[in-house]
A and B are shown apart, each in its own frame.
Chain A
Amino acid sequence: MNKTIYYTFIGVFLAFLQVFVFNNILFFEYINPFLYIAFVFLFPLRTLRFYFLLLAFLLGLFVDIFVDSGGIHAFSTLTIAYVRLFFIKLYFRKTAVDYPFFSIQKEPFGKIFNYTVTLTVLHHFILFSLDNFSFQNFSSVLLNTLYSSIFTLLLFFLGGFILIKKQ
């Protein structure tokens, strides 16, 4: 099956899952996981980058429309989608030649961990800062970022262990 179409469907599925399931999960009444960003981690590198950026933006916008938050999800998802390449270069030590063969599932856990933690924290920080939209309550932005990131990552790795077959 064509990888691009496959991952596009995963994106759609994650968007619906986020809106109808994860947005209703409120751990300790406040902490909300944003698992839909797993789309950005998993999307293959070989696809045209325009298409990927556009999809990430639309995914964020879809979540935004459902939670009435303007464009904050679109903004933060697009940001991590854009800077993803930089962190792949940094953590996995890949160059442009390796991109067509790059698959996150074949990488060691430590590197994947660094990569996902960085992108998740970045995404959540931008998201909560824009949601707050002022410099008041900045401590709550940081706390929210920390707690939500932990929860998102926990779900991401749990889902990974359950769903992805070991080669």
Chain B
Amino acid sequence: MQQLISFIQKYKYLLFFIILQTIGIQLTIQNHSFHKSTFLNSTNFISGNLYEKTANISDYFHLKEQNEQLVLENIQLKNKIAFLNTTEPTALETVLTDSINFNQRYSYATAKIIKNQYTKSNNILLINKGEAAGIEKEMAVFNNKGIIGVTEKTGQKYTRVQSILNKNSGISARLKNGANYFGPLVWDGKDYRNVQLTDIPRQANVKIGDTIVTSGMSTIFPEGILVGTVITVGDKNSRENKINVQLFNDMSNLRQVYVVKSLHKLEIKNLLDE
């Protein structure tokens, strides 16, 4: 007993150090597993509020850009309507006569990014909507230029989003034109402008400049949201068959985003679990 006490006396600083280090490494490990996110994160009241305040100030410097983006998106939507009108004159009317509530698969909400991160190897964003606005875990986040990430952890007023620039990210994507080959989008942690599309079968005909969109094979993302263009195609004989994709989105410059809620998610999940 005497020896034990003198041991603790002698090494008290080392023991204290080790205890704190264990807490630190525990938090780090927890943070690296997607589904067991830590309780200490930036969705809490204090840091969320502070981030929102700073974002409100910096918002003013981006108003012009945001306006241009909105105009672009309006044009995209207008073109889509015009296209629908010419090809299928009845398309608009059928949508109107259909009872929307029963056919709607996704509902959209807007949010603002109040903290952006793109230089780490596991990047995380923070948006200013939370459980109070109906945001849940595993909802898709994107803007008019393309995908951004998946919600990961919700607070009362803020939500943490796992960016596509995260090593744990694996959103299913496919080639826009051509056959329905799909595979997960991963990030190698090197350049924030590029992500990698993997597991595309060898026989797929992938050319530089091809557009990549989301595949709709998961319950999270709707089909056909833009991702980027192919810039290099890997060696066809390798196991992974990595395809480098340049993102349409400039991940270093994000403001307004959309959050998608999949209304059929529960049904699909139930079917898959049976």
Contacts and interface: CB of A to CB of B under 8 A. Distances in A.
Given A29-B119, A32-B119, A75 B190 contact: no
B16 A53 contact: yes
Contacts of A79: 21
Given A61-B27, A71-B31, A132-B121, 16 more contacts: A29-B119, A32-B119, A64-B27, A65-B42, A67-B117, A68-B41, A68-B126, A69-B120, A70-B30, A71-B26, A71-B27, A74-B23, A131-B122, A137-B188, A137-B189, A140-B189
Interface string A123-150: 0000000111110010010000000000
A6 interface: no
Interface in A49-95: 49-50, 53-54, 57, 60-61, 64-72, 74-75, 78-79, 82
B61 interface: no
A164 to B, nearest CB: 29
A82 B17 CA distance: 7
Contacts of B167: 134
A128 B48 CA distance: 25
Contacts of A30: 119
Interface string A15-45: 0000010000010011010000000000000
Contacts of B124: 68
A68 B51 CA distance: 13
A64 B40 CA distance: 9
Given A53-B16, A64-B40, A82-B13, A71 B47 contact: no
Chain A interface, >50% SS class: helix
B28 A66 contact: no
Contacts of A26: 119
B30 A53 contact: no
A69 to B, nearest CB: 7
* Chain A to chain B: the 6 pairs with minimum beta-carbon distance, closest first: A70-B31, A71-B27, A75-B24, A71-B24, A70-B28, A74-B24
10 contacts: A61-B27, A64-B40, A68-B126, A70-B28, A71-B27, A74-B23, A74-B27, A132-B189, A133-B121, A137-B189
Contacts of A137: 121, 188-190
B25 A131 contact: no
Contacts of B26: 71
A133 B32 contact: yes
Contacts of B51: 66
Given A32-B119, A131-B120, A137-B190, A53 B24 contact: no
B160 interface: yes
Nearest to A137: B189
B154 to A, nearest CB: 14
B79 interface: no
Contact of B160 (A61, A68, A74): A68
Nearest to B58: A24
Nearest to B119: A30
Contacts of B17: 53, 78, 82
A62 B86 CA distance: 58
Contacts of B121: 131-133, 137
B29 interface: yes
